[in-house]
Amino acid sequence: MSSRRMTAIAGSLVTASFSTVMILSVTASADDQGPGSSKGGKVVDEAPAGVKLTTTLPEQISVDNSSEKTDITATVKNEGTKESGKIQLLVVGFDGLTVNGVQGCSQIPEGDLPEGSNSGFACPIDNLAAGDSKSYAVDASFDLGKTGKICLPVQTADGKKTYWQQGPVPFGTTNPSPNAPATPLLLGTDNKPVAPGGDDLPQTGAAPREVLLGAAGAALLSAGAAGLWWSQRRPRQQD
């Protein structure tokens, strides 16, 4: 994928901020990621009539405490009544969450990554029929001493429009497990690292129990806000 084309991806991406919630901790594994969730997702540009594109991420993932490796399943769906035509799914990592690889997808060059991200892959999709979905196996690493977020934009093949964007949505833990083989992380939960020199794994910034779970809804910032990806870059005109 050329640098010119990847620059065009930037056109309509927006960032998200999320309220922290208290969620009961459960043990997770790579094979048991819980139900898929579209938490933190929002329509950005209007899709063609009859096309409704969304994504889902697992409610929970598990990070190996020794290798810091984890597996994530990213799914794109067409919930509309007409086929999507050519689109692409981006899988982008932020902060302590690094995307190492996505099956069947191409790595985004470092110079074309969105501001603040550390890694990303572009997954071209020739067509997604009405009612169909496509899942991708994401190989990732998570530094438990940091926060970590992931973002799934669904765009036109040329990157000029973003029909849907999930995230950047955080994964985090409400129950650090320093002596266990793995640490379960929950979608929509901010991971708050311990102070430098601390002996424990990071604690989360869980809200008081009085805060309703509904407070987890994403407040996506509009284009032009301070958090806009690639805010200083513009797609070049096509030759």
Write the pLDDT tens digit of every residue in 102-121. 999 999 999 989 889 999 99
Question: Cα dist. 92→8, 32, 49, 131, 191 in Å?
Answer: 16, 22, 28, 25, 18
pLDDT at residue 49 in the model:
97
Question: Cα dist. 231→107, 121, 162 in Å?
Answer: 21, 20, 15
The average pLDDT across 6-21 equals 39
Please check the confidence at residue 52 and state whether its pLDDT lies above 80.
Answer: yes
Minimum mean pLDDT among 73-82, 129-138, 142-151, 183-192: which range?
183-192
User: pLDDT grade, residue 8 (50/70/90)?
Assistant: very low
**Average pLDDT value for the chain:** 76
pLDDT in tens, 204-234: 444 443 333 233 333 333 333 333 344 333 3
Quick check: helix, strand or coil at residue 120? strand
CB atoms within 10 A of CB 143: 16
Dihedral over Cα of 176, 31, 74, 94: its sign: positive
Please check the confidence at residue 40 and state whether its pLDDT lies above 60.
Answer: yes
Cα distance between residue 186 and residue 165, in whole Å: 19
pLDDT in tens, 122-138: 999 999 999 999 999 99
- Which tokens belong to 108? 């985004």
Quick check: helix, strand or coil at residue 214? helix
3-state helix, strand, coil in the chain (%, to 5): 5, 40, 50
Better-predicted residue by pLDDT, 24 or 177: 177
Minimum mean pLDDT among 84-88, 140-144, 190-194: which range?
190-194
Per the DSSP assignment, residues forming a β-bridge with 187 are 171
Please check the confidence at residue 190 and state whether its pLDDT lies above 80.
Answer: yes
CATH numbers and ranges of domains, the chain = 3-209 (2.60.40.10)
* DSSP letter for each residue of 12-65: G---EEE----------BTTB--SEE-TTEEE-SPPPTT--EEEEEESEEEEET
* 2 contact partners, CB below 8 Å, separation of at least 6: none
